[in-house]
Structure 1
Amino acid sequence: MYTVIGTAKSRAARVLWMLEELGQAYDHVAAPPRSEGVTAFNPAGKVPVLIEDGTPITDSTAIIQYLADKHGQLTHPAGTLERARQDSLTQFLLDEFDAALWMAARHSFVLPEELRHAAIKNTLRWEFERSQKTLVHRMGEGPFIMGEMMTVPDIILTHCGNWALGAKFPITEHRLTEYLDRMRRRPAYSRVMSQWK
């Protein structure tokens, strides 16, 4: 049995979705970042935290890749060219999508008010639009980012797409809009989003 700590409004949604896709049982503790229920397992106070056999694992990407590897689903095997492509897409999404959205969040509500610079968000939106153009050229033919098989980067990209819309970062590429609409119709995704409160 797994325990996932973090609200479905956070990157914990990625872990919850992965577990739903894998059909694995889990307990969900919807603790907010930096709360006592989080810092007991992650001194940085960040969510998500996955606990398995009393061992906490942090960082959403590390967690979902671990779960995919452990259960042999939603991933290509380590040491294959397909896995190298998968990992490359994962890193691209973290560097170009997740990082821009997190920087915008920091300058919106995370940093102390005197350290926030609202103007940086215009630059980040511009970079986000450019990254979308690059991404659509890297997407495979098929319903998922790599083609016919759903993999770890699909969870990251869909989560970032939702985050972008909430942060008023427009999705400008039609192919990406269609992709996000398709991913949001997945039953496992719907089960996680029903926890979004």
Structure 2
Amino acid sequence: MYTVIGRANSRATRVLWMLEELAQDYEHVPAAPQSEGVVSFNPAGKVPVLIEDGTPITDSTAIIQYLADKHGALTFPAGTLDRARQDSLTQFLLDEFDAALWMAARHSFLLPEQLRQSAIKESLIWEFTNSQKTLVNRMGEGPYLMGRDMTVPDIILTHCGIWARVAKFPIHEPRLSDYLTRMTARAPLAKVLAMMG
């Protein structure tokens, strides 16, 4: 059985959702970042952490790609062109969406107050808006980012979309908005979102 450490309203959402999609049993420990239960497994104090056979794995993207590879689902096989495209999309989302949202969070409540730059959010929203235009041009024709198959980037983008709404980063592209509505209606994700209440 897997153990997932981290509150559901963090990047742990991605790991919990992946496990639900894969129909895998897991124990959820909703520990806060920097808490003793987190630092003992990840010295950086960041969540999520996945524990398997006593071995901690950190970083949500590394965790969900590992789970997808291990269970042979929600991913294309390594060494294929489709996997290269998938990994490229994953990196784009991390660079353009996750990074902007994380920077905004840092300057809103994570950094010491004297180091926060509140004005930075305006430029981050501008970047986030431009990135949506690029993303829409990269989206496949099917219901998911890469076409007919749901893959790791779908989990990352949908989580970023949820995060964006909370952080008041507007979604301007209708195609992206429709996609997020569709994805957030998935039953496995709804189960995870219910953990946040």
Please, what TM-score do these two structures have when normalized by structure 1?
0.99
Unmatched tracts of structure 1, length 5 or more: none
1:55 deviation in Å?
Answer: 0.1
Q: Which residue of 2 aligns with 1:37?
A: 37
Runs of 4+ in 1 over 6 A off after TM superposition: none
Alignment partners' CA distance in 2, 1:128 and 1:73: 29
Q: Kindly indicate whether residue 151 of structure 2 is the aligned counterpart of residue 148 of structure 1.
A: no
SS where residue 8 of structure 2 aligns?
A: coil
Alignment partners' CA distance in 1, 2:141 and 2:41: 41
Q: Which residue of 2 aligns with 1:196?
A: 196
Alignment partners' CA distance in 2, 1:184 and 1:99: 21
Q: Kindly indicate whether residue 80 of structure 2 is the aligned counterpart of residue 80 of structure 1.
A: yes
1:155 deviation in Å?
Answer: 0.2
The 5 A counterparts of 1:133-144 are 133-144=133-144
Alignment partners' CA distance in 2, 1:187 and 1:123: 35
CA deviation vs aligned residue, 1:152-197 (integer Å, no higher than 9, x gap):
0000000000000100000000000000000011110011111013
The 5 A counterparts of 1:150-169 are 150-169=150-169
CA RMSD of aligned residues (A): 0.4
The 5 A counterparts of 1:10-29 are 10-29=10-29
Alignment partners' CA distance in 1, 2:7 and 2:141: 33
Identity %: 76
Please, what TM-score do these two structures have when normalized by structure 2?
0.99
Q: Which residue of 2 aligns with 1:64?
A: 64
For 1:38, the aligned partner's letter is V
For 1:105, the aligned partner's letter is A
SS where residue 97 of structure 1 aligns?
A: helix
The 5 A counterparts of 1:1-16 are 1-16=1-16
SS where residue 134 of structure 2 aligns?
A: helix
For 1:118, the aligned partner's letter is S
Alignment partners' CA distance in 2, 1:113 and 1:186: 38
Q: Which residue of 2 aligns with 1:91?
A: 91
1:26 deviation in Å?
Answer: 0.2
